[in-house]
Every structure is written in structure tokens, then in C-alpha cells.
A and B are shown apart, each in its own frame.
Chain A
Amino acid sequence: MVKDQEFLEKKASYCLGLAKKLGSTESSVIINNSVSETVNFRNKKLDESNRSDDLGISITTYIGKKKSSISSSNLLDDNLNILIEKCVETTKNTPEDEFNSLPDKDLLAKEVKDLDLYDDTHIENDQKIDYLKKLESAASNDKKIVNTESSFTQNKSNFILANSEGFCAGYKTSSFTASSVTVAKDEKSMERDYEYSSKCFLKDLDDAGELGKQAADQTIRKLSPKKIGSEKIAIIFDKRIAKGILSTFASAISSSAISRGTSFLKDKVNQKIFSDKINVLDKPDILKGLGSRNFDSEGVKTDTLKLVDQGILKHYLIDTYNGKKLNLKSNGRCGGTSNLYFENGNISFKDLLNSKSKSLYITETIGHGSNIVTGDYSVGATGFLVENGEFKYPINEITIAGNFKDMFKNITLANDLEFKYSTNSPTMMIEGMVVAGK
């Protein structure tokens, strides 16, 4: 069982009290507890069960403009005593930084809305096993599938965030996640692909059979890939890859990258960085949303932001420290975005595929090829050649490259947005990128 609010609040107030007694002028504390139970299947048999019970505390103490922090998984009082004393000592010896401080009191969240993020349902391992049996049976229907690995996880978490300004709030969240990874083989090749579903509420989870079938279909269609020549060609990003491009955008507008001058989007607020039709929203109050929250990791109230309006960048993602440095108010984005998404475009998936006589549909990228300082992008890719709206054959061992500054201006979005992750995008086409192959 996940620890209750009362236990966490008591610990938090103990820490704040002790920090004050030892000489800190301000302090904040976060305590998390998370209990997960996972069952893994492989080739229709039980492979692994895993139970984890994680407790963690993180304390930051300030003495004027000096700051230091400690974290631990051991919440026993005598351990906390040693650590808080160490933290305060370290704070004394750390140089001042004029921008160090807790958030402004008037920005802190005043109320905690119920965003429907916690499902009390407990699913026993035997029920997880039933789900995985059904999933793996659907996944291994086709003879070309030679290996299946599937997993079901139930997670229940609780947390408290408290600071010496009197803020003290937290709430429970839950998630239920199922995934399936399948390997298919033919004479020429062996390929792997996956499907995944994660929800706050058990009853919303995808059907086991459909998930397994989806994973298998996506793997089988990758068999016997070809390598193509190097050329400039329109690229269509599957939703699961398109969301990564949105995440890179979010990193590039984080106030820390902006204040340090290490982002290609520095000084671009109120400038056009996407084409007219592009809108980006970060909406924290979606009921049951995977990224939903009432406040950020400093306790600052999180409102919906239209980050990009008709192609124009409107906001950075601002926390307290970097906000003070940039002379801007925190907008509750310490720790990043909540439910971040591109609004739908106005053409269907089918019309997007049809819009070019020849294009590449990318389903997977590998490598860490996004450079937010320069905007350069170069990654390994796997996908399909599309001709006149039809998937012709699978492609691998190629790279795709460009620069985000140009790529952002050449995005066309389909109208097939769904909220499957915390960051989501409709299917995306970008023109003018370079493919390197043979």
C-alpha cells in the first residue's frame, strides 16, 4: 500500500522544522512514495514478476541567497537528522547566487483540483497474467513472429510538496501500463517492433488482443527491408516519432536553456518559428491526463499555455530561478511541460500520405541526434517508402537530417491527434530534409 497523506505531511513538516532550527532561512521538501507491481511474459509464459516499493525525499535549504540540497531513500528520523544537518552545513559553504529563492508566494497554487488521476482499483498478478495470456496469444498468431515479450505494470504513487512559505500539498496518482514487443523473422531479416498503452484508469486500458495484434502487425510489415539512395525527400513522421520532435521543441524553450544562451530558440518570443497553421498547447487540467497536474515541482500554479499561436512563439517554459534571471514570472513549468500537444491540422492521415508522389514514412529513429544549441538534427531511421499514398516497402539503415529552424517552418499536420502519452502530436510531414542511404 502506498503511504497516506498524513504520514508524508508529518515527515515533511518535521524536515522543515528541523531545517529552520538548524539555521536555514527558507526550505522546501518533496516526499514521494511509489509502489509498482509488474508481470512480464515471454513466449506465452511467465518470465518475471517485480514488486517495487520506493520512498524518496529531497530537501533544499537556503541561507539567504545560498542554497544546497540532499536526497535520500531512508526516511528514518535519525538519518534525516544527519542529512539535514549536512545540508545546512553545505549551504553555509556554498557561494551566494542572487537568483536563488523559493517561488513568489502569490504564484503558489491555492487549490488542488481533483483531476481524476487516481484509480483505487487493484489488479492482482493473476489478472495481469490473464491479460498477458490474451495479449501474447494474439501477438503470436502469425508464424513469422518468433519471440514475444509483454509486460503489465500497476503503479500507485503519492507525494507531498511543502515549503517554509506554508505551501503543503500533494495527491495520489495511478497508472496501468501494458506493452508488447515482438520479433518477426523471414529468410532475409529479423525485425522488432512494439505497441503500448498506458492509462490512469484500468478500465481505459487498450484491449489485450488488439494491443498484441497491433504489435505483431507493425513488426511483420518491417520484414525484408531495403536501403535506399541518398536524396532530398518529404518525410512523414508516425505519431510516436512526431511527439519526440515536439519534446525537442520543449527542451529548446526551457528557461534554463534560454537563460544560459544554449538554445537555438533564444530571443525568439513573438517571432514566427513555425508555419501559420501550427498551434502548440500545454494543458495541465485534462481529466485523467497522463501529464496532468495542479502545480509544478516548486508548487507554482500551472495554467494552460498556448506556447505557439499561428506559428508564433508566445512563451518560454519558466521556473523560479531562471525566471528571476530572465526578469520573467514563473509560469509553473519547473520540471517541464504537462500535457503538451500540437493542435490538429486540417487534412486527414490518408490525404497527407497522398500529398506527395513519393515520401518516406518513419516509424522509428535511433541515436541522440538532436542538438538544441545549433538546431541540427541527424538520426538513424526505419520506415517505409510511400508512393502515391501506398506503403511500397520497408526501409532501414538510413539517416535523416536537417535543422529544426527549417524543419519547424515546413511542418504539415494531419488531423489524427490522440492522447496516448503526455506529449502528443498528430502525424507530421516535413519537407526539405535529407536522407542518407546508399
Chain B
Amino acid sequence: MSNFFEKSDLSRSEAENIISDTLQKCDDGELYLENSKSESILLDDNKIKNSSYNSDLGFGFRAISDEVVAYSHSNEISKNSLKQSSENLKSTLKSVKGTYNHEIPKSNKKYYENINPIEQKSLNEKIKILNEVNNYLRSKDDNIKQVTANFLGEQKSVEIIRSGGETLTDVRPLIRFNVSVMLEKNGRKETGVYGVGGRQSYDSYLKDDNWKSVCDEALRIASVNLESKPAPAGEMKVVLGPGWPAILIHEAVGHGLEGDFNRKKTSAFHNLMGQKVASEGVTIVDDGTIDNRRGSLTIDDEGTPTEKTVLIENGILKNFMQDRLNARLMKTKSTGSGRRENYRHIVLPRMRNTMMLSGNQTQDEMIKAVDKGIFAVSFGGGQVDITSGKFVFNCTEAYEIVNGKIGSPIKGATLIGDGPSILKEVSMVGNDMMMDPGIGTCGKAGQGVPVGVAQPSILINKMTVGGTKL
């Protein structure tokens, strides 16, 4: 755990006094301190291209009165700097008359260990594995023209000090291992990307030559794409594979169920609470409590313990995801979803691990039920317009389905749909729910946070596929 006041002219008790003084008569607020250490080691084009290390330290001071948020952040943890921030907050909130809400739930559950993954493996060992990755892949296939592999490791220590001196802390490890392969054959180039990660040591993901299966998967995707033909254009049935394709859930309904957009009534879901928004059999949860997952958090960035929040239960909209501000204004409780990229940013309600739970059908049954459509297995990323509800995601591995059988691979294409209605088009839910491999980052209002997704195979009756073949 970092001692934020060790090398500062500001003592903890002085900081507590400034916090309490600034936040009196505010409804909520806190001082958020953060110390993060991260590394990136990149192999590219047969060489170690980059080895870098980042150490970031700073605070964000927040005061809330009714709907108004005042925020100030700085890299310098000093008496001067905190006082300047305090003055800044006070000048925004000129006439406050609220009552500070001291209540914050407690839990002693932890969902990851207090480790620093960067220190647990030497630089030489990391470089050795990256070189092995490169040699392994290049010896496997003569068509390989480019291999990129990298390690990203991080340890983030946070401390939240609330008015009155209540303090909450968390130490968060996070790692990611990625491999990208480019193949070239007969003048045609295609890439395949795969990765793994989560809140454990590098070795938890690399042991027993596990890195080879990451390489194999990246190579497999690139090989499939080398044989792909143009994707069709127009509305058709779509079967989604299990796991990572759940970014459909994340984009189509996840963002629309975040508290801020619903309080402001700018989400297409804001007036649908308690109503049917999905087919029967569709249950979606957002869960911050799964051990060691990329999207899991022991406490959120306001200090609230995370939980498993049921968003949609058997087709009915049950809950939004809330931080403290939006929960208070919507007269409900925080779901432990208040997150920020780092101390430079304000807290927003965000997803953690968003999951559609298993049903009881098989993927085979789904494929057989499709005369003409596509089977989408892997995705690059997605985006949503929460107001109109329209969302997209980009296939990176997909096949055509003809008369109940999987056919040729098709080129990457964007799929577009309508969030509030898409889940009503889900006609089969598989029994094969799977978590993603731990590589997702979600962007909102310029802030990226690590998230997870999961789903079983599903059959969607109608979606628009953005190919070029009419």
C-alpha cells in the first residue's frame, strides 16, 4: 500500500481537515489518491521495439452539491496544491446547503491479491518469452510476415478519504498479454489478434506453455481470414458464438443502462424500467465480484464494495448501474459501479463484467435453424449511440450460414442494430456461457476502464450486416 503523505509537506491529518472543511454542507465528495506503476514490453518486427515504465501519482478532489460536481486534480500532493484545489471547489459551489452523506457500505471480501505483477517476473524472462513467441509463430507458417507481441502490467494503489476522515483503500493488479499475426499469401494480407489477461500474475496466464495457445489462436484467425470472401450486405439472421461476442450486450444494452444517461433521460431505456426489453429466457447481470477478472473490483472508485447487479431478468428490465451521485438523485443505492480511468477524471457509472447467463439450447440447433445468415465468432470492438439506441460491432472472424450449415469465412464487416429492440429478436439462448479472455477496455466520455463480458451462443432473428456483396 502506498503512503501518499510520506514524502509530502502535507500530513494526513492536515489533509483530513482540508477535506472536511471543503465538504461541509456538500452532499458528497472525497479526496481520491492514486499511485500507479505500469510497464509495457513490445516485440515487433523480430525485435524488442519498446520497453517502458510509467509511474503516475496524483489526487482528484471532488465536491458535490445537489446535481453539481466540482472537481480538481493535480500531480503534486502538497499542502499548497490541495489548498488550491479546495479554493477551486469552493468557488464553484458558492452557496451550498446540503448534508454530507457519511453512509458507505462495508465488505471485507477481496477479489484479487495484493501483488505487483511487474516485480514478479524479471525483464529478461519477459523478453525471453516474447522472443519465443516470435520464433514459435514464424516457424509454424511460412506465410507469416509480421508478429507483434506485448506484455502490459500494472499495479494501481488507490486511497479514498471522505469527510470526517473515513478511509478506504484498494491495490489492483492487472496484466495483459497480446499477440498479433499478419499473414500474406498471393498478395493478400490478413491479420489475427488474440490476448489474455486479468488481475493476477503474468505466470497465471503463461504457465504450462499456455502462451502457445494464445499464438495458435491468433494464427488460426489470420488463416481463416486469408480464405475469406466479401461479406453480404443487408438484414439477416445472425448466430453469435460464446464469450467475447458479448460485446454486443455491452454495446446494445449495457451503456444504455448506466445511471447517468437514465437520470438525464437521454438513454433509449430511461422509461422502460419494469418493462419487457428482451425475449423470455434472457437474463443479464453486471458483476464486479468474480475472482481475478479484468472487470472485477473489490471496491469501486468511490469506495463502495462492488456487487452482482441484475440488469435484465428473464426479459424484464430490473436495475440500472449506479454511482453515488446518480443513485442519490434517482433515490436508489449505488451498485458499486462508480469508476474512473484515473485521478484525472470524474467518477461515472460504468460496467464491470457484463454477462448474459446460459439458457438451454445448443449452438448446433441455432446453426440448423438458419437458412441464410452469418455465424460470428470473434470481434474487434463496438460503439453505441445511447440516445438513438443504434449500436455497431465489428466482426473479425465470421462465416456464412447456408441451409443450416456453416459455409465459407467472410471478410470483416460491421453489424448494426437497435439496442432496445435487439434483445427481443433473440430467439435461442445457448447452454455454453463463456467469459471473454480478459482483454476488454470500455471507453466513455474520454475515459477507458478495463471491463469483461460473457455470454452463451445466441441466435438473433434479424440484424443488418454491413458487407459489400448485394
Contacts and interface: CB of A to CB of B under 8 A. Distances in A.
Given A380-B414, A380-B466, A55 B72 contact: no
A260 B146 contact: yes
Contacts of A142: none
A399 B91 contact: no
A50 B47 contact: no
A115 interface: no
A435 B233 contact: yes
A166 interface: no
Given A73-B75, A232-B470, A434 B233 contact: yes
A369 B464 CA distance: 15
Contact of B234 (A97, A189, A230, A379): A230
B416 A261 contact: no
A94 B55 contact: no
Contact of A42 (B189, B264, B413, B465): B264
A51 interface: yes
B390 A97 contact: no
B71 interface: yes
Interface string B41-70: 000110111111111111000000001111
- Interface size class, chain B: 35 or more
A55 B75 contact: yes
A367 B382 contact: yes
A72 B55 CA distance: 5
A45 interface: yes
Interface in B440-470: 464-470
A436 B387 contact: no
Nearest to B67: A47
Nearest to B72: A51
Interface string B191-234: 10000000000000000000000000000000000000001011
B466 A54 contact: no
Contacts of B468: 378, 401-403, 434
B150 interface: no
Interface stretch (A8-16, A85-93, A197-205, A411-419): A85-93
A54 B344 contact: yes
Interface string A346-372: 000000000000000000101111010
B383 A367 contact: yes
A257 to B, nearest CB: 10
Given A70-B53, A72-B56, A53 B190 contact: no
A28 to B, nearest CB: 13
A397 B76 CA distance: 47
Contacts of B71: 48-51
B394 A369 contact: yes
Nearest to A369: B414
A261 B146 contact: yes
B330 interface: no
Nearest to A433: B468
B55 A74 contact: yes
Nearest to B344: A52
A83 B57 CA distance: 13
B73 A45 contact: no
B29 interface: no
A39 B466 CA distance: 39
B416 A192 contact: no
A81 to B, nearest CB: 12
Query: Interface centre among B52, B467, B468, by most A CB within 10 Å?
Result: B468
B123 interface: yes
Interface string A123-153: 0010000000000000000000011010000
A68 interface: yes
Contact of A72 (B50, B54, B411): B54
B414 A97 contact: no
Given A71-B54, A76-B7, A397 B45 contact: no
Nearest to A193: B387
Q: Size class of A's contact patch? A: 35 or more
Interface string B380-394: 111111011011111
A401 B344 contact: no
A125 B414 contact: no
A27 B189 CA distance: 37
Nearest to B38: A71
Contact of A401 (B124, B127, B414, B418): B414
Given A230-B233, A232-B470, A378-B466, A261 B52 contact: no
A232 B469 CA distance: 10
B264 A378 contact: no
B74 A53 contact: yes
Contacts of A380: 383, 390-392, 414, 416, 466
A225 B7 CA distance: 59
A147 B261 CA distance: 11
Contact of B265 (A56, A72, A75, A146): A146
Contacts of B81: 53
Interface string A380-398: 1010000000000000111
A73 B7 CA distance: 15
A95 B127 contact: yes
Contact of B387 (A192, A260, A398): A192
B142 to A, nearest CB: 15
Nearest to B191: A373
B268 interface: yes
A73 B411 contact: no
Nearest to A325: B45
A69 interface: yes
Interface in A254-297: 259-262, 264
A367 B390 CA distance: 11
A248 interface: no
A401 B388 contact: no
Contacts of A113: none
B88 interface: yes
Contacts of A183: 266, 387
B52 A74 contact: no
B388 A192 contact: yes
27 contacts: A46-B68, A48-B71, A49-B88, A56-B75, A69-B50, A70-B52, A70-B54, A73-B58, A76-B7, A94-B123, A147-B264, A190-B388, A225-B388, A232-B470, A260-B146, A368-B380, A368-B383, A374-B411, A376-B411, A397-B464, A401-B231, A401-B467, A401-B468, A434-B233, A434-B468, A434-B469, A436-B465
Interface of A: 42, 45-56, 68-76, 78-79, 83, 86-87, 90, 93-95, 97, 125, 146-147, 149, 183, 189-192, 225, 230-232, 259-262, 264, 364, 366-369, 371, 373-374, 376, 378-380, 382, 396-403, 434-438
Given A378-B231, A380-B466, 16 more contacts: A53-B75, A69-B50, A73-B57, A190-B387, A192-B266, A192-B388, A367-B394, A369-B412, A379-B392, A379-B414, A380-B383, A397-B417, A398-B464, A399-B415, A400-B466, A434-B470
Interface of B: 7, 44-45, 47-58, 67-76, 81, 85, 88-89, 91-92, 123-124, 127, 145-146, 182, 184, 188-191, 231, 233-235, 264-266, 268, 344, 346, 380-385, 387-388, 390-394, 411-418, 464-470
Q: Which 9 A-B pairs have the closest CB atoms?
A: A399-B466, A436-B233, A380-B392, A367-B392, A192-B387, A49-B92, A73-B75, A230-B234, A378-B414
